Amino acid sequence: QKEVEQDPGPLSVPEGAIVSLNCTYSNSAFQYFMWYRQYSRKGPELLMYTYSSGNKEDGRFTAQVDKSSKYISLFIRDSQPSDSATYLCAMMGSGGTSYGKLTFGQGTILTVHP
Amino acid sequence: KAGVTQTPRYLIKTRGQQVTLSCSPISGHRSVSWYQQTPGQGLQFLFEYFSETQRNKGNFPGRFSGRQFSNSRSEMNVSTLELGDSALYLCASNREGNTGELFFGEGSRLTVL
């Protein structure tokens, strides 16, 4: 079983829809939780960053972390065609053997059609 | 502020050859990490360097190595290339390397024939 599980989709939604992306994990040592967006033939771009549990909002994007359930989510409101990309959840522990080491989900391919 | 720069962007090698990839981090970032991305395995951590020292290493064979220079620029090397080494190699930088806030370059796409 992988440390981080993410439904690869693909997910196709109409413009304006609310998108919900999720990941579950098994390693309770994870402290940092990220969402990255990756366009085709580009490197991942940091979208949301959360330390420990809680919610974080940035424009149309909301990230939620529930450490008790080992579950993280990303919500995209009023989705746009430009949101079409692969969304990767990523997690990291703290200190020591965690330096620079993110554990990624497989990524969810999202298509927002006009 | 310039982002993470990786060179070359694309390269083709044959089995048995070796390859060196280069990464220039964001100015002020002292931590550089390397990742391999393949369709089957996704993004996998290779290693992390900070102040010219390797602090962390992923589960890859010894054919994969790296180094970091005093100006924080980093290189990774893969020797005795195998077909399975075909992948997108991504470099990421972070100020101290102790948070998950990594900034990635666009990657070097390696094809091994």
What's the pLDDT tens digit per position in B61-93? 999 999 999 999 999 999 999 999 999 999 999
Asked if A36 and A46 touch (Cβ cutoff 8 Å), the reply is yes
User: B21 pLDDT exceeds 70?
Assistant: yes
**d(C-alpha A65, C-alpha A56), whole Å:** 9
Query: Cα(A48)–Cα(A61) distance, rounded to whole angstroms?
Result: 8
pLDDT category at A9 given cuts 50, 70, 90 is confident
Sign of CA dihedral A18, A24, A30, A31: positive
- Give the closest of A43, A51, A91 to B90, CB-based: A43
H helix intervals, chain B:
none
Candidate from A84-98, B11-25, B82-96 with smallest mean pLDDT: A84-98
Residues of A in contact with B108 (CB under 8 A): none
Q: Which two tokens stand for residue A61?
A: 């994007």
Q: What is the distance between the alpha carbons of residues A15 and A57, in angstroms, rounded to a whole number? A: 20
Kindly determine whether residue A100 and residue B56, on different chains, have CB atoms separated by under 8 Å: yes
Cβ(A50)–Cβ(A33) below 8 Å: yes
* Shortest alpha-carbon distance between residue B26 and chain A (Å): 14
CA–chain centroid gap for B101, Å, is 17
Q: Which residue has the tokens 């990624």?
A: A104
What is the average pLDDT score of chain B?
95
Q: Pick B45's closest partner by Cβ from A42, A101, A107.
A: A101
**Residue B42: pLDDT band by 50, 70, 90 thresholds?**
very high
Residue A52 binned pLDDT confidence (cut-offs 50, 70, 90): confident
Find the radius of gyration of the CA atoms of chain A.
14
H/E element, B89:
strand B87-94
Which of B102, B108, B110, B111 to mutate: most A Cβ within 10 Å? B102
Q: What distance in Å separates residue B77's CA from the closest CA in chain A?
A: 18
Q: Is A34 exposed, middle or buried (0-12, 13-18, 19+ CB in 10 A)?
A: buried
Q: What's the pLDDT score for residue B1?
A: 65
CB interface of A with B, residues 21-40, below 8 Å: 32-34, 36
Q: What is the mean pLDDT of residues B47-64?
A: 94
